[in-house]
Structures are given as C-alpha cells and as structure tokens.
Amino acid sequence: MPQFPGLLQSKLPNVGTTIFTVMSRLAAEHNAINLSQGFPDFECAPELRALVSKYFNAGLNQYPPMAGVPVLREAIAEKMESLYGTRYDPEHEVTVLPGATYGIYTALATLIRPGDEVILFEPTYDSYGPAVEVHGGKAVYVQMRYPDYSIDWAAVEAAITPRTKAMVLNTPNNPTATVLSAEDLRMLEGVLKKTNVVLISDEVYEHIVFDGYKHQGVACFPGLAERSFFVSSFGKTYSVTGWKMGYVAAPRELMAEFRKVHQFNAFVANGPLQHVFAEYMKNRDAYLQLAAFYQKKRDFFLEHLKGSRFKPLPSRGTFFQNLAYDAISDEKDTDLAIRLTKEHGVAAIPVSVFYRQPPTHRVLRFCFAKSEETLARGAEILSRL
C-alpha cells in the first residue's frame, strides 16, 4: 500500500465518519432493526422502475446539458409555480443536481470566502457545518429552543454581522421534525430585508408535512425567493435516496454564479434519470399523497409506543420521530444508542451529535420510513424498556 510521505493538514480536523454511516453499520453488525439513518426500507413505485428501464434503454448514454435536460427543468418550474406561486425560469433559474447535499455544498462554495460567516440553526443537519468550514467560512449558530425547537428571530437578527454571507435554513427540519410557519418565514423576511444575506433553503422534506399544515418554504415569500437557493431532492419525494438526484432553483444572478462552480465539479446529473423524473413528475398524486402516507406511518409507530416510557416529541414533518428518554435512563444519548443497538436490537440516532456541545436534554431520533412490520417490531422492543 502506498503511503503519503508528507504532512497533510486536515481541512476538517474535527470531523469523523457521519453518525448515519456509523449507526447503520452497527445495526447491520448486530442484526438490529435500523431506525437510525433516514431511508425507506420499502420499494419505490413500480411505475418509476418501469421508466428507469425505458430510459436506460433509450440510448441516452452521453452527457446531458450542464443545467439539466430541458423537460425536467420545465417540469420542476411548473411544479414549483403551482405549489408555491413563484415562477422560476427553467432556462436560467433551475439546475438539476446529483442530490440536495451537493446543492447545498455548491451554493456554499459559490458564496463563501475565507472569514465569511454563515448562520446555521442548532441542532444542525450534519453536512452544513463541514461544508461551511471546508470553504474557510465561519459557522455562527443560533439555538432552536427545546422542547418545541422554535426559532427566536430576535436572536437571528442579533447574530447577523457585516460578515454574514449566508444562512442555511431547513424546513421541515432534520433532526427536530419541526416545520416553520408562515409567520416564521415572514419574520425571517423582515430580518433579512435590509441585509445582503443569501438564504440556502434545504426543503428536501417539502412534501412530508403532517396534520393538515401546508409546507411554507422560501418560494412562497417573494422577499425570500429573491435571495434564496431553494434546494430539494428526488430521493425523499420518490423513496429513492440511493439515486442521488435533486435540484436547485434561484434567481438568475445567483444561479449564474452557482452554475460556474457546478460545471467544474459534478458538471451534470445522471442523464437517463432526469428523463425518468420528468415523466414521472406528471403524476402529481405521487408527491401530493406523500404526507398522508407518512402521517399514517408516524401514527402507527406512535400507537405501538403507547404505554412506553419513551416520551414522543411532536413530529410535524419529515419521516423522523424524536423520543425523549428521561424516564428510562440518564445515560448519554450516544451511549444509549449504541447499547440499544447491541443489546436490544434497535438502532436510532442520538440527537446530541447535531450539536457542538451535547445539550442537557436527551433525545433519540427514530426513522419511521419503514414497513409497518418493522415499525411494530421496533416499537415493541422500545416499549419494554
């Protein structure tokens, strides 16, 4: 094996393997029910797979256009306009990408110079902080208030300085399973009004909002749309996280710079799959019924946890259910997550890993994008603790 003879100074000295990889690996090693990493354990729609056969056999084997195939960009623009009321020009304002993570990373690469500040909300989805740091930016954290994980907009305003270049928002939110209200977004609109801050809005769970709420995202608010990169993922919406396909929409001025970076990195997203989604997106029910589909799973999981000593926190969106365990143990959540996996056969994500310093409250995150049988077995084990 070759060995690097020099000294390499890490750009991410405090980063190890992601918690999702660690917990999924541990779950596999111990044959545990894996409610940790967020991915569905069921098949995607058969119609979607049929389209994959069709388009992978259509000779579409060479590079698609850098921004994405026009039919898909048009389909995305139409969908966004009909759902959120903002028209994005498919030619200049929509770009198809290899996943939402890549979109957020590329937006940060487009914006951040060394020393620039980026506002993140804590707990923070794992990819944001490192993506800021690797570009020499400085993450500035605003706490979401436990136990409802609400945002104090006055604290957000106070965190903005002349160095603030961007803010990363995520609603519905991973890992808290909260959703922002129209009032929240109006407050944010007011806070950002007199600034040059660019918003990167991670809305990968846009179609998974429960209890009759309507998703409120940046494309619903003109004062936010004009300064935002809206990022979404086909992985979540169509239960195909492994296909790594997503997209970004933004005003032309922002998108022109974004594409300059994108064209020298991934350059394009998978060609045949773009045609697959362009055609499949015509079926609006597939995404309009997703919330009801996951709400049923959330309720099924909670029903089977009745009588358990785990205390559910509200799950208003995403496919995650957080459970507080004060009544069960005073172990650290990282320790409990490992012990639960090894000794009891259920894997979860310890929420403290989404903080710089572990908070005093203790919560585990469970993914309910699973078959009812898996959820019932998992809940039964948890109920015995």
Binding residues vs ligand GLN (CB under 6 A): 18, 20, 37-38, 174
Cβ at position 37, least distance to ligand GLN in Å: 4
Range 108-137, binding ligand PMP (CB under 6 A)? 125
- Cβ neighbours around 56 below 10 Å, total: 16
Residue 284 DSSP label: T
Please state whether the peptide bond connecting residue 13 to the residue before it is cis, i.e. omega within 30 degrees of 0.
no
- Find the distance separating the first CA and the last CA of the chain, reported in whole Å: 47
What is the pattern of x (binds ligand PMP, CB under 6 A) and - over residues 181-210? ---------------------x-x------
- Give me the residue whose beta carbon is nearest to ligand GLN: 38
Cβ–Cβ < 8 Å for 78, 236: no
Query: What element of type H or E holds 76?
Result: helix 70-84
Cβ at position 3, least distance to ligand PMP in Å: 33
Residue 100 in contact with ligand PMP, rule: CB under 6 A:
yes
Residue from 36, 174, 176, 270 binding ligand PMP (CB under 6 A): 174
Query: What element of type H or E holds 144?
Result: strand 138-145
Cβ at position 173, least distance to ligand PMP in Å: 7
Say what angle helices 252-262 and 100-111 make with each other, to 10 degrees: 100
**Residue 233, binding choice from ligand PMP, ligand GLN, none, Cβ under 5 to 8 Å by partner class:** ligand PMP
Residue nearer to ligand PMP on the CB measure, 93 or 202: 202
Residue nearer to ligand GLN on the CB measure, 107 or 349: 349
* CB-based burial label for 82 (10 Å; 0-12, 13-18, 19+): exposed
Bridge partners of residue 228, in order along the sequence: 199
**Residue 123, binding choice from ligand GLN, ligand PMP, none, Cβ under 5 to 8 Å by partner class:** none
Size of the site for ligand PMP (CB under 6 A): 14
Residue nearer to ligand PMP on the CB measure, 6 or 242: 242
Comparing C-alpha atoms, which of 268, 83, 122, 343 is closest to residue 335?
343
What's the alpha-carbon Rg for the chain, to the nearest Å?
21
Please state whether the peptide bond connecting residue 147 to the residue before it is cis, i.e. omega within 30 degrees of 0.
yes
Cβ at position 38, least distance to ligand GLN in Å: 3
Residue nearer to ligand GLN on the CB measure, 105 or 221: 105
**Residue 181, binding choice from ligand GLN, ligand PMP, none, Cβ under 5 to 8 Å by partner class:** none
Cβ–Cβ < 8 Å for 143, 174: no
Residue nearer to ligand GLN on the CB measure, 123 or 251: 123
Cβ at position 101, least distance to ligand GLN in Å: 7
Range 212-241, binding ligand PMP (CB under 6 A)? 233, 235, 241
Tokens coding 201 = 């809005």
Residue 347, CA distances (Å) to 11, 319, 353 in order: 31, 15, 15
- Contact residues for ligand PMP, defined by CB under 6 A: 38, 99-101, 125, 170, 174, 202, 204, 233, 235, 241, 244, 246
